[in-house]
Amino acid sequence: MIIFPNIELQNGKCVNLVRGEMDQPVVYDVDPVATAKDFAADGAHWLHVVDLDAVAQKESNNAALIEEIIHSVHIPVQVAGGIRTHSAVEHWMEKGAGRVVIGTAAVVEPQIVKDAAAHFPNKVVVSVDARGGQVVCEGWKTHTAWTPLEFARQFELLDLAGIIFTDIDRDADHPESTLATTTDLASSLILSVISSGTVKSLDDISTLHYLPNIAGAIVGRAIFNGTFTLRDALGVVAE
């Protein structure tokens, strides 16, 4: 299982969103490029970098900063946030991204995913975000009628690198949330699943490590808040 340290960028800063609230970010007083280098030095095999300003479709985004991160580390970078066209996929492939993540566009125009997977096999990941058993998009603001499994299954025959599944209820500490949704989705799909929003402790990493078809876990808040270190997380997987 791969641990993906998560760097979320807003206005050029490392942040974390609580319950997806764009206007109330937790801002970390660290340099994004230096942080990426530190993660690589600590043994990360991949980085996951999200442009939150691109998600919000702001004129000013963090593209130049993400390019700097890509060229500053010796490990591949999985780029997410606001990638909604085939030309955007091509752009990040040309800039050296290891993978691109397609979220909202997979909901509103799934043909983009099909075209991208055909042109860049094993380089495209579909992001499936769910709240209350329904897929959401547009920065978690728009609900759909899809269940996560129904939505993900339409992409199963494509040459994707996998699915990122974000359990928003778990991420937001909903009292009835468990790992069951992630477990059920992963065990029902052929595509491998990268779990997001589920890791609060090293025990969570240990649990995910032994679940079927979980290829990775995206971990950000717990590392930045000092709950554990990246080296700690990697150590659990190595065991």
Residue 8 a catalytic site member: yes
Catalytic residue among 129, 169, 171, 204: 129
Q: Exposure string (b/e) for 69-93, b if CB count within 10 Å is 16 or more?
A: bbeebeeebbbbbbbbebebbebbb
C-alpha separations of 207 from 31, 122, 139, 234 in Å: 31, 26, 28, 14
Residue 68 a catalytic site member: no
37: left (phi over 0), alpha (psi -120 to 50) or beta: alpha
**Contact status, residue 193 vs residue 213, Cβ threshold 8 Å:** yes
Whole-angstrom distance, CA of residue 40 vs CA of residue 130: 30
Catalytic residues: 8, 129
